[in-house]
Amino acid sequence: MTSLTFSLKLCGIIIAFLLFSLTGCKSLPTPSPAKPVNVIPLELTHLPTDAATQGLNIIDTQLSLGDRNLYLANNGNIKMLSTAQCQLEISAHRGDFRQPESSANAIASALNDNFNSVEIDVMLLKDGTWVNHHDSQTGRATVYYTGERFKLNRMNFQVFSNLKLRDKQTNNLLDQRPIAAVEAFKTFAAYRHNNQQLNVEIKSDTNGQKLVELDNMLRKYIGLGGFYYSAADQEILYKLRGINPSVYLGFIQGGHPTSIEKLTADLRNGVKNDAYYLDNQSKLELVGRYGTKRYRSRYKDYTAKSSLTAIHKKLGDNSGLHLDIRSFMQHQNVKHDAHQLGMKVYTYSLNGSEYHQSQLIKLTTVQLPDGAIVDATPYKICQRLFNAAVPAKRYEPSSHLGRYIASLPQDADFDRFNEMRGYQTEGYYLSLDSGLAPISRPPVKVVPNNIPTPLLEHGFPTITDEKIDNDTGETIILRLPQRQAK
């Protein structure tokens, strides 16, 4: 009886174990399929980490672009492999001009596009929070969800965080908010490469304590040597020199009166579109929104050597003057005088990036400013000023797209590469300076038909086209007899 009971218990244990094992097997999760691994072709391993490495004829495309010191990035933009030829500091005005202003994307995209520096604007809210914002009030780049307009110095951060950003191309509101200054600094620190700097333009009049707070944040998240300051108020920069003895300080001289007149005329005439109006209206804040006549009486020029000496005495060695390009062109000796004092000279423009570049092109390399704050890509600036993307003609492409890239003239606008591809089969391209243009091809050599007319079996000639002589000889004048009047 005991052995029978033991046997029954043993069988029960075995059955339970088997059932448990079967249940456990059923509960095992089904392994998910492995994600495909994108293997970088050996021929493209030399490219930067953001280069596109997958797609039809990608090797031939990248090698064709590489022959011009260019490459195709994952985001579809064409970028320069090296900016070593560009003997000019190129600063991204408010970050990447293609991205929403006062956004983290504007900073990150500019850094990825190999700008030397990124310029952002910082302002103080009513509650003492530093934020990344350009205008003194909302309505242009940032909008409150009710449509109500606010002055930045009367807002707290809770209200500021409810603002929406505008899309640069469509002006539509986005589901994104502007960022605080500390978020801008963290983004810059996360995406920056070696030697890239953040140009922090201070647009609020404030005390030394708030400037100490700002400088401490920059030291903490970016570190000394990774940032510098600019402002249109010398007193702000003077306070900063006491806080940070080694940082670069750039004094911004107001826009040239002619630039202001041109800007206001364009706005008055509604040039281009509403988005243009909104974007450029804010530039008048640089001159305090003065009317032209009043502005002329208040405009102050600091390009004279005596003025530069006074700025240098106040701000110290590591300082400079930031000028409207029109002022720089009228006072080209300012760079020489500034360098004698150990100062730098940067240029900006109130009349658009195209005008800015058109003036820089007129200068020799020695005459160029130390840096330019622009709404354009490093490729466009470097190519126009230094021909930094000249084809080396060391690579023979094999695909249709590769051959098209190789055939493009030196002034091809690779910022519009995707648009330009639409003209691939038509023999056209987009020029940096003249828009749509034909790709010049070598002239076709016409062989004259000097073959004598052969005779057929029955003596009839073969009909061939005769060469027509289009040359004109001497003029023959025919005089008809005039009918005599009766």
Domain boundaries, the chain: 42-69+389-438, 86-134+181-386
Give residue 257's pLDDT: 93
Q: Are strands 197-202 and 227-231 parallel, antiparallel or unpaired?
A: parallel
- pLDDT at position 107 is 98
- Position 470 scores a pLDDT of 52
How far apart (Å, rounded) are the C-alpha atoms in residues 38 and 47? Answer: 15
What residues form DSSP beta bridges with 166? 173
The predicted pLDDT at position 265 comes to 80
Alpha helix stretches (DSSP H) within 273-342: 274-281, 292-298, 305-315, 325-330, 334-340
CA angle in degrees (0–180, nearest 5) for 41-46-50: 80
Continuous segment of H or E residues that includes residue 182: helix 181-191
Q: Which residues pair with 435 in a beta bridge?
A: 431
Residue 83: what pLDDT? 85
The DSSP H or E segment spanning 22 is helix 2-27
Beta strands 197-202 and 163-165 are unpaired
Beta strands in 6-138 (DSSP E): 70-72, 78-80, 89-93, 117-124, 130-132
C-alpha 155/C-alpha 176 separation (Å) is 18
Walking along the chain (486 residues) 10 residues at a time, the average pLDDT comes out as 49 51 49 66 92 94 96 93 91 95 96 95 97 93 88 95 91 93 98 95 96 98 97 97 98 94 77 52 48 56 97 97 97 97 97 95 96 96 93 94 94 94 91 89 53 52 52 51 54
Classify the C-alpha dihedral 281-282-283-287 as positive or negative. Answer: positive
| Dihedral sign from CA coordinates of 211, 213, 216, 220 | negative
Strands (E), 94-195: 117-124, 130-132, 142-144, 163-165
Q: How far is CA 85 from CA 66, 362, 378, 433, in A?
A: 15, 18, 11, 21
* Secondary structure (3-state) at 64: helix
CATH for 86-134+181-386, among 3.40.50.150, 3.20.20.190, 2.60.120.560, 3.40.50.10740? 3.20.20.190
Contacts of 408 (CB under 8 A, 6+ apart): 420, 429, 439
State residue 440's pLDDT score.
80
pTM of the shown model: 0.79
- The per-residue pLDDT for 9 is 54
The token pair that represents 254 in the structure block: 């107001």
Q: Which is it for strands 163-165 and 142-144: parallel, antiparallel or unpaired?
A: antiparallel
Query: What is the structure's pLDDT at 91?
Result: 97
At position 236, the amino acid (one-letter code) is I
Rg (CA), the chain: 34
> 383 — phi, psi (to 5°)?
-70, -40
- In angstroms, the CA 321 to CA 300 distance is 13
Give the per-residue SS3 of 441-474: CCCCCCCCCCCCCCECCCCCECCCCCCCCCCCCC
**pLDDT attached to residue 444:** 45
Bridge partners for 80 per DSSP = 70
Structure tokens at 98: 């293609």
